[in-house]
Amino acid sequence: MVRIEFLGPIQKPAVEMEASTLAEVAEALRADETLKAWLKNSAVAVNDTLVSGLDVALKDGDKVSLLPPVCGG
């Protein structure tokens, strides 16, 4: 199981799912209409390290975080 965390304004509770790659996580999350816009614009971190592609392998206990862009002032 991997844990998916939605940070900042996404306002969605964390979920756990079986996935062996980040691509599998992305595919599952695309099924949620409320996440589609966030998926296009968010950075992704695996175990607190930013990643740039979906070919990242995952193992049991990994944490995937969706980091939406934020505005500051």
- pLDDT at 73 exceeding the cut of 60: no
- Mean pLDDT, range 46-56, rounded to an integer: 95
For the chain, the average pLDDT equals: 92
Residue range(s) defining the domain that contains residue 53: 2-58
Rounded-to-integer distance, Cα 7 and Cα 10, Å: 6
Residue 65 CA, chain-centre distance (Å), reads 5
- 14 part of a folded domain: yes
- pLDDT at 5 exceeding the cut of 70: yes
pLDDT digits (tens, 9 = 90+) for 9-24: 998 999 999 999 999 9
- Strand pairing category for 63-67 and 2-6: parallel
Bridge partner list, 50: 45
- Its pTM stands at 0.90
- pLDDT at 72 exceeding the cut of 90: no
Q: Of 63, 57, 45, nearest to 1 (Cα)?
A: 63
- pLDDT at 49 exceeding the cut of 70: yes
Could you say which DSSP state residue 47 is in? Answer: T
SS3 40: helix
- 73 part of a folded domain: no
- 66 part of a folded domain: no
- 9 part of a folded domain: yes
- CATH number, domain containing residue 22: 3.10.20.30
